[in-house]
Each structure stands twice: as C-alpha cells, then as structure tokens.
Amino acid sequence: MDLFEYQGKQYFARFSIPTSPGGVADTVTEAVAQADAAGYPVVVKAQVKVGGRGKAGGIKLAADADEVRRHAGAILGMDIKGHVVHRLWVEHASDIDKEYYASFTLDRPAKKHLGMLSREGGVEIEEVARTNPGAIARLHVDPVRGLDREAARRWVEEAGLDEAARDQAADLLVALYRCYTEGDCDLAEINPLILTTDGRVHALDAKVTLDDNATFRHPEWAEYAATETEDPRERMAKEKGLNYIGLSGTVGIIANGAGLAMSTLDVVNQVGGEAANFLDVGGGANADVMSAALEVINADPSVRSIFVNIFGGITRVDEVAKGVIEALGRVDLRSPIVLRLDGTNAEEGRSLLAPHLSDRLLAEPTMLEAARRAVALAGQRSEERA
C-alpha cells in the first residue's frame, strides 16, 4: 500500500525522522488555518500518489494568507497525471541550501536491504542513475546486523554529503532504516532530504510503501487503508480472492500460475497487443474461480477479447474446461474468449469443450497462435514486435 506524502511524514514522525511542521487541508479555509498554525511562508502541496507534483504545478510557496487562498484554490481539484487532488498538505516553508536523496528498499537477489544515498536530490533518482551513476552511494545492510551509527556515518561521507549535514544525516538514516524495517515498509524514500540554510537536515518529501503482508501486526494501518483510492477492478478482484492487477490494454488475461501469466503478457505484447490485466487463477481453476475471473475481466470496459491460457500440472485441464463451460452459463460476456489448454488431461478438456466452440469461444493449439487470435479479435495492430 502506497501512502500519501502527509501519511508518510506522519509515519516518519513515529520514528523521530524530522520533517517541517504542517497539517492537512481539504478546503481553502482549512488551508489558511493550517498555514496560520505552521507560520509563514508556507508551501502548499497537492496530495496525490504520483511523483513530479512540483513540475505539474501542484506545489506552491505562499508568503501570506492571500497567496495560500489563491494556490489552494488552484491546486484543489487539479488533475495531476490522472490523479485528482482532494487534499493538501500545508507546511512551513524551508530555506533550502542543499537537496539530497535517501531511500531503503529490498534487494531481493542480494537478500539484503539496499540503502541509496545521493548528494544529488530533488530530481528523480532514475535520472541521476542514468546521467551520473557515480553520485549514488549504495549500501547493502545485512538484515540481521542492521545499520549502526558508525556505518551510517561512513556512508554519508562516501556519498559526499556536505560536512555540515553529516552528523544529522547519519542519525536520520539510522532512524529511516528503523522506520523501513520495524515499520514494515517495502520502500521508504526521502527526495529531497534537505540541508537548510540554518544548518538543519530534514525530510522535505516522503514516499512510503507499506508491505501489505505485515498488515496483521499493524492495526494503525487501518486509517491508511481507509484513504486508499483503489482501482475498482482491483477492489472487485480482491473481494473475489483473485490475484489481479489492472493494466491499460484491451486483451483480458487469465492464466494459471504467476509465471505463466507473465509469459502470457509477454506473448500478447510480442504479437502487437496489450494486456488489460494480469490475472493468476492459481492452482484451483474450478467453475467458481473461472466465473469470478471472467466476471472481473468482463467488468472492465476496455477489454475486447479474453485470452485464457492454462497449462495443466496439478490442475487438470478437464476440470478447467468444466469451469469455463459452467462460467459461460453464469456470466454474460461482452468479449470473445480464446482458449489455449495444454498439459494434464488436455485431450479430455478439449473434447469437453468441442461442442461449445463458436465465434465467441475459440480454441488454439499453442500459446502464440492463441495470442495472435486474441489480439486480432481485440482489433489491435497485428505486426509482431522484434
């Protein structure tokens, strides 16, 4: 679960990571009240879960209440990359001397936590990685040993942070590491981490992704879930217990196993199409699961064809075929289905399906042919990509 900046900053506060004083506002009047409380000048910040708010005009400095009124009025309701602003964060403005970058995330191949620290903050870290990779100091942290003050101090020096910032930055990084580990984050990122003109180091922005697997031990996360703006397709899939992720294409995908589902997306892409979703029905692709999967995909207005790609292992293809047939009776589908069924009991499955095949339910022998057919039905470009 991704947090809004203001929630990230509140989360940081639990771990004593310094931020600027401020508060949330849902109206212009509230924004002025928060600004009065924080002390002028202030910065008025759009709360949307997308980066680059500054460039999009969603972050403005205000010297007095009139300016707050003007900026808050302009930013509330603004559309930033498809995210409409309903809430603002108003904080006391900082005088910035230097902008740095700091984050922790998991490096899966290394089986360690990865800290990234740079003296070049305020711009996207991907941009720094491309144009000046030497400016990012990476630190792998052994999860058993953790990060101590001495290691953090060496890291800060290696990254070339200014002398005046080093001690405070080292303390802050130890706190950020605690927030990331004890706070069960997948990502804890500060961009920019600033050194102010009067020599203080603090977080000017907060990007926090919580690890949903740890929800059970964090009752306090309920308030974050309440403000989560979820994709309606994903909410419906979650209610039905499906492993679903909404995407932007037109070919609905159902596959068994996450690996096969990903390969299916690749093959659809290879033949010039784009998947509308990722959906792994897992091991038990029975009628209930198939109906639920088809229902979720059917509810997506961009879908124009559905590609069902099943490889029977422990799952038997004849069971899947029964599931598809039964599901067809339950769900009134808007789009044609292309099936590719292979593996355990494939022959039995195909003969069960044979009497049901039509121009709305087609079968293809291979994954590639099925992908081509599904993409053609979705009316997309059919040239293959290199």
> Taking Cα atoms as reference points, which of 199, 205, 196 lies closest to residue 94?
196
The one catalytic residue among 99, 189, 319, 364: 189
CA distance linking residue 120 with residue 331, whole number of Å: 54
Active site residue 101: yes
Q: In DSSP terms, which residues pair with 63 in a beta bridge?
A: none
Phi, psi of 285 (to 5 degrees): -85, 60
Asked if residue 57 binds ligand GDP (CB under 6 A), the reply is no
Asked if residue 52 binds ligand GDP (CB under 6 A), the reply is yes
Q: Which residue is nearest to Mn ion (CB)?
A: 205
> Would you call 299 exposed, middle or buried from its count of C-beta atoms within 10 A (0-12, 13-18, 19+)?
middle
Exposure letters 214-243 (e unless 16+ CB within 10 A, then b): eeeeeeebeebeeeeeeeebeebbeeeebe
First to last CA, the chain: 35
Q: Which stretch binds ligand GDP (CB under 6 A): 94-102, 258-266, 285-293, 323-331?
A: 94-102
The least distance separating ligand GDP from the CB of residue 254, rounded to whole angstroms, comes to: 36
Asked if residue 94 binds ligand GDP (CB under 6 A), the reply is yes
Asked if residue 43 binds ligand GDP (CB under 6 A), the reply is yes
67: Cβ contacts below 8 Å, ≥ 6 apart: 60, 61
Asked if residue 205 binds ligand GDP (CB under 6 A), the reply is yes
> Would you call 123 exposed, middle or buried from its count of C-beta atoms within 10 A (0-12, 13-18, 19+)?
middle
Active site residue 6: no
Between 206 and 236, CB nearer to ligand GDP = 206
SS3 22: strand
The least distance separating Mn ion from the CB of residue 1, rounded to whole angstroms, comes to: 19
Q: Which stretch binds ligand GDP (CB under 6 A): 46-54, 216-224, 264-272, 329-337?
A: 46-54
Report the run of H or E that residue 278 belongs to, with start and end: strand 277-280
Single residue of 22, 115, 183, 192 touching ligand GDP by CB under 6 A:
192
* Pairing relationship of beta strands 88-92 and 42-46 according to DSSP bridges: antiparallel
> Taking Cα atoms as reference points, which of 285, 288, 379, 373 lies closest to residue 331?
288
Single residue of 161, 203, 204, 327 touching ligand GDP by CB under 6 A:
204
Between 192 and 252, CB nearer to ligand GDP = 192
The least distance separating ligand GDP from the CB of residue 207, rounded to whole angstroms, comes to: 8
Q: Give the x/- contact pattern for Mn ion in 201-240, rule: CB under 5 A.
A: ----x-----------------------------------
Number of residues that bind ligand GDP (CB under 6 A): 15
Q: Restricting to residues 115-134, which ones interact with ligand GDP according to CB under 6 A? A: 122
Instruction: Note the Cα 349 to chain centre separation in Å.
Output: 37
Exposure letters 47-80 (e unless 16+ CB within 10 A, then b): bbbebebeebebbbebeeeebbbebbebbbeeeb
Asked if residue 96 binds ligand GDP (CB under 6 A), the reply is yes
Single residue of 20, 191, 291, 305 touching Mn ion by CB under 5 A:
191
Interface ranges with Mn ion (CB under 5 A): 191, 205
Where does this chain bind ligand GDP (CB under 6 A)?
A: 43, 51-54, 59, 93-94, 96, 99, 122, 191-192, 204-205
Active site (catalytic) residues: 101, 189
